[in-house]
Amino acid sequence: MSAQDHSRDERLQIMLSAEELVVLDDFRFKARMPSRAAAVRELLKRGLSAEGFPAVFGGKSADYGVTASPSDGNGNGKSKADGK
């Protein structure tokens, strides 16, 4: 899967308490996330980044991924080899 391919092929199912869901929704609306899934991905990015793992922060729904592009480290999909 390339850095430009924003399809999500894997499903991760989690169970939340009613209180956890309220907190997630509060974060989602305050941060203007397009969906609960985007909010969870954003929280994963923030947690991973806080622990020193590479993460990229985005603005569009498709940009709410968790990992940076391995080609250049900033998630824009440009590799040094192909210049794209």
Q: What is the pLDDT of residues 14-50, one digit of tens each?
A: 999 999 999 999 999 999 999 999 999 999 989 988 8
Number of Cβ within 10 Å of residue 54's Cβ equals: 15
pLDDT of amino acid 33: 92
CA 68, CA 35: separation in Å to the nearest integer? 21
The residue type of 41 is R
**Tokens found for residue 36:** 């609960």
Query: Does 8 reside within a domain?
Result: no
Query: Does 3 reside within a domain?
Result: no
38: enclosing H helix or E strand: helix 36-50
Tell how far CA 70 is from the center of its chain. 15
Q: Are 56 and 67 in contact (CB under 8 A)?
A: yes
Query: Does 69 reside within a domain?
Result: yes
Report if pTM > 0.85. no
Range of the domain at 57: 17-84
Query: Does 10 reside within a domain?
Result: no
The tally of domains found in the chain comes to 1
Quick one: CA dihedral 30, 37, 52, 71, positive or negative? Answer: negative
